[in-house]
C-alpha cells in the first residue's frame, strides 16, 4: 500500500516481459495497475533497463526469473510511489 495524504493506493504488477534473444536481456517491460478502493485508477507501463538492474540489483541478474521479477518490480514501484506523491495519478510510462 502507498499512502499519499488521505488516499491509499495498491500497486499490482504483471510479470515482466523481455524480448526473445540468446543474449543477455537488456530491457524488461510490464504494466502496474494502481488501485484505489479496489478499482483501477491508472495503469503505469513500466520499463526497467539492464543498467538500472546492474547498478541496484546485480545479484538478481544471476538469479532466477522470480529474482529478476522481484527486482524490476521494486525499481518500478519506487518510481511510481514518487509520481503518486507528486499527484500524478494517471496513466503513464515509467522508466526505472
Which one has a higher pLDDT value, 8 or 21?
A: 8
Q: Does the CA dihedral 14-20-24-27 come out positive or negative?
A: negative
Residue 20 pLDDT greater than 80, yes or no? no
- Global pTM? 0.89
Residue 87 pLDDT greater than 80, yes or no? yes
- Across the range 33-41, mean pLDDT stands at 97
Look at residues 84, 55, 57, 82 and name the one whose alpha carbon lies nearest to residue 72: 57
Question: Residue 13: what are its φ and ψ, rounded to 5°?
Answer: -95, 145
The pLDDT value recorded for residue 18 is: 85
Amino acid at each position: 500500500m502507498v499512502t499519499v495524504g488521505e488516499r491509499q493506493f495498491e500497486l499490482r504488477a504483471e510479470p515482466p516481459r523481455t524480448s526473445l534473444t540468446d543474449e543477455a536481456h537488456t530491457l524488461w517491460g510490464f504494466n502496474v495497475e494502481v488501485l484505489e478502493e479496489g478499482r483501477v485508477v491508472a495503469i503505469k507501463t513500466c520499463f526497467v533497463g539492464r543498467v538500472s538492474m546492474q547498478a541496484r540489483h546485480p545479484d538478481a541478474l544471476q538469479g532466477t526469473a522470480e529474482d529478476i521479477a522481484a527486482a524490476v518490480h521494486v525499481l518500478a514501484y519506487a518510481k511510481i510511489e514518487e509520481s503518486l506523491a507528486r499527484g500524478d495519478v494517471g496513466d503513464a510510462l515509467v522508466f526505472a
